[in-house]
Chains A and B, each alone.
Chain A
Amino acid sequence: MSNRIDQVFSQLRSENKTAFVAYVAAGDPDMPRSLEVVRALERAGADIIELGVAFSDPLADGPVNQMAAQRALDAGATLAGTLDLVRELRKTGSETPIVFFTYLNPVYVYGFSRFHQDAAAAGVDGVLFLDLPPEESQWNEELKETDELCHIRLIAPTSPDERIEAIAKTSEGFIYYVCREGVTGAQTDLADDIDEQVANIQKHTEIPVVVGFGISTPDQAQSVAQSSDGVVVGSAIVRCVEQYGEQADLAEQVEALVKPLVDAVKSV
């Protein structure tokens, strides 16, 4: 099966370029404006867009993303509404890969296999569950993964080698290396062992390794781009949405923030 994520990475590899992955909270400040933000990310040159699905109890997120989820929920965001957002986006011919970044419970209550079908039909390419280790998908009948979506796995600095190997084997699309022990959110300093860790993961797999958690400036993005297949920036963009959410030029502000980040990653 050929999907948009694999296509993007094979294109980038042929050009010897690194992917820029943008994260935003879907439905922040509301769904219509969130769609404008997603289009701005595309215009700025994001290769892949991660949409955070709003959840009441985001225990892996720092304050910036927590507040974004709350704003989205207050504006009525739901999983079904986030699928609608993707449908709208695809209607206008967008081919940017979309990955849902979500906690399990909203999907669980929606229905795990129903979600896979509906998401694929809406034009979602992959899903990353923050609180669903791959083992639980094997152990729980109702959490059996189907092949409509790429299942993107997380690897953490605390994951030992044998676990990295096992996770790498079942990853699809790309591997998300969480480069920091902690929650989501911008950091002034990045871990100094990112290149070693990424190289170690790459020993186990051919799948692209994308690095995220804490990367917020062009300098940081550029530095991480040198040793990885992709760089995720999240909280910095979410903060921009927070700051300009009520203003008419929200999309322009987001584009202006993201463009230099994309350029930094592409300069490598």
Chain B
Amino acid sequence: MTEQRTRLKRFSAADRLWHLGLVLVFMTLSVTGIAWMFYETSWGRGLGSLFGGYQGTLEVHRIAGLVMMAGFVAHILYMLTQIDWKGFPRSLMGPDTLVFQWVDVKGFFAHLGWIFGLREHPRFDRWSWWEKFDYWAVWWGLIIVGITGLMLYNPVLTSQFMPGWLLNVALWVHRIEAVLAMGHIFTIHFTVEHWRPSSFPYNASMFDGSVDLEDARHEHPEWVARLEKEGRLDAALVAPPPVPLRILYFVVGYAIIALGVFLLVFALINAALLTLF
């Protein structure tokens, strides 16, 4: 029995693989980074023992950091191949672009107005302003954390090319930016994607690649209307994933979410025990 094609393809296989790779490496870095930062506490040492103690935690953190940087470079190269160079730079200003446009600024204020009940929900196209923000925020974070992380990777080598006291600054910047990134993901990103009443308890679209068509009609109406007008809507419709796959998405996804929330909660609890200065 064929399922009704009630879902709309939204994320390509490549999109999903990039996201999954990012998630796995980010969580590895988070766990090892937090274990290192909280090593004075028994909770931190417990986390660190999973990786072989203090040195092991640092080793894994460094290697995962290199993997993250390599992935970032690979992603930049991949994105360069995705740009329509023939139509450049106009091609970066189309309705499917991830680049911020004036319409996103208007969308932000319109969305704020809807939140306060002042107007109806804005009609977003393919990407809402917060999805674009979530994409570019990773670039900012990886550049800051990556550069300072590479500086800290081998302090003796780094100090051959720049003054050693820059490492004092680098460690603080690395810490603060990492805490910003983890804090943002484990609170705001999880809430917007999974815990909003309209998608509670779980939103599998980044694993499965599709969104419910009716949800898309109401959150991204301009996009659906555009697909319809261009005759591409029918080709983009898919059936919901089979139940075993849905279970898999839920279990894996929630394991990661739970890990993030666990890190957040216990980091907050143990924060008072930290000696920062």
Decide if A and B are genuine partners: no
